[in-house]
A and B are shown apart, each in its own frame.
Chain A
Amino acid sequence: MFHGNKVLQAEDLNKMNVIIEKLKKQAKAFVILIVDESGQLITNTESGSMVDPILLGTLTAGNFGATTELAKLIGEPDFTLILHEGNKENIHMLAIGTYGILVVIFDNKTPIGLIRMYSKKTAEALKPILEKIEVTKKGQKEDLPSDDELDDLFNW
């Protein structure tokens, strides 16, 4: 499966943020992330706490990768439900096609059935946007630093 590069414009980012903020309200979730399978955080709702979204994104993507492999190993093409139950918070993960992963961290106030339903709807709404931002062409040359500029940077 080829994973293209992603180019995020402000407009697309805003659209996605509106969608996941809505889900956050519906699901009474603690925080919602959209991560790429390579571990990069695409965007997240404000968690209003000290939780580092980049680390959270990396760990959830790694977890999703391991879980997807587990599915293959027991003869399932995909898991339809990935749920991690904690004492306070739970994690629900759903693939958005091949473009990303929708991660919802929620507590026990919301039934899991509702989380599943809302997540599914949200993933459908996000899919066309994520599809659009995936590109095969990489960066614009003028946006990239030259070797000299990089050398200046490496003054560690």
Chain B
Amino acid sequence: MTMINYAKKEIICKIVFYGPGLCGKTTNLKFIYGKIGPQYKGKMIALATEQERTLFFDFLPLDFGKIKNFNTKFQLYTVPGQAYYTNSRKIILKGADGVVFVADSQIDRFNENKESLKDMAVNLREQGLDIRKIPLVMQWNKRDLPNIVSVQQLEEVINFRKVPSFEAVAVKGIGVFETLKTIIKLVFKSLGEDD
């Protein structure tokens, strides 16, 4: 849900990072939080277990200041990846303006990417959103690890919509900002269009 507040001259959009457990969603947010200038960010919330697993969501508000008379704000969320948190994922997708799907490039995680994508389609639908239409960017994470599938294979199987995609090593920040910039552009583009 986009909120356009004429009283405060604000546009606020919600972007959700989705993907299987341990694929690097939180790592993306942490990197953005760590690198982005203090004038652009608010406080980050991480609802996680002591083992650093997200148990509900992470939240990072970004404020890009004035563009065309409007303060432009983005709220980044992650979902918990583990299978039994599917209800939590559904809640977090509520009102999403755009989604980043973070896939784990490792060979033995390939099927989990597929399952997570399916899970995302179902959960989006439950919120009245369409995986075929919502602004979407894909990120092929962990490209620095040894046993990984080829980008071509990820493109063929996971990137069913042929949306913009980026190779990434989120722990080192590689591909993180490219992903963020692209989803922001796509969200803005969709705002100018009618449903």
User: Which residues of A line the B interface, CB within 8 A?
Assistant: 1-10, 12-14, 36-40, 42, 52, 54-55, 58-59, 62, 65-66, 69, 73, 136-139, 141-145, 147, 149-150, 153-154, 156
Contacts and interface: CB of A to CB of B under 8 A. Distances in A.
A58 B5 contact: no
B91 A66 contact: yes
Interface of B: 1-8, 11-12, 14, 35-37, 40, 42-43, 45, 47, 56-57, 59, 61, 64, 67-70, 72, 75, 77, 87-88, 90-92, 94-96, 127-128, 177, 181, 184-185, 188, 190-195
A155 B87 CA distance: 37
Contacts of A147: 185
A13 B190 CA distance: 26
Given A13-B5, A36-B1, A139-B2, A58 B37 contact: no
Nearest to A147: B185
Given A8-B5, A58-B45, A145 B88 contact: no
B6 A150 contact: no
Given A3-B127, A10-B7, A138 B1 contact: no
B40 A144 contact: no
A8 B4 contact: yes
A40 B3 contact: yes
The 7 residue pairs across chains A and B that have the minimum distance between CB atoms: A38-B95, A2-B128, A65-B91, A10-B7, A145-B67, A13-B7, A141-B192
A55 B149 CA distance: 39
B91 A69 contact: yes
15 contacts: A3-B128, A6-B3, A8-B3, A8-B7, A12-B7, A13-B7, A40-B3, A55-B43, A62-B91, A139-B4, A144-B11, A144-B68, A145-B188, A150-B188, A153-B72
A42 B5 CA distance: 9
Contacts of B77: 39
B6 A138 contact: no
User: Looking at chain B's contact residues, is the secondary structure mostly helix, strand, loop, or mixed?
Assistant: mixed
A39 B194 CA distance: 23
A22 B68 CA distance: 35
Given A3-B128, A38-B96, A153-B64, A8 B195 contact: no
Nearest to A7: B4
B75 A58 contact: yes
A40 B4 contact: no
Given A66-B91, A137-B194, A5 B1 contact: yes
Contacts of B14: 38-40
B64 to A, nearest CB: 5
A153 B1 contact: no
A35 B23 CA distance: 30
Given A39-B95, A55-B45, A1 B40 contact: no
Given A3-B94, A58-B75, A139-B4, 15 more contacts: A4-B1, A10-B7, A36-B95, A39-B59, A39-B94, A40-B95, A55-B59, A59-B45, A62-B47, A62-B91, A65-B92, A138-B191, A143-B69, A145-B68, A156-B37
Contacts of B61: 54
B67 A156 contact: no
Contact of B11 (A9, A139, A154): A139
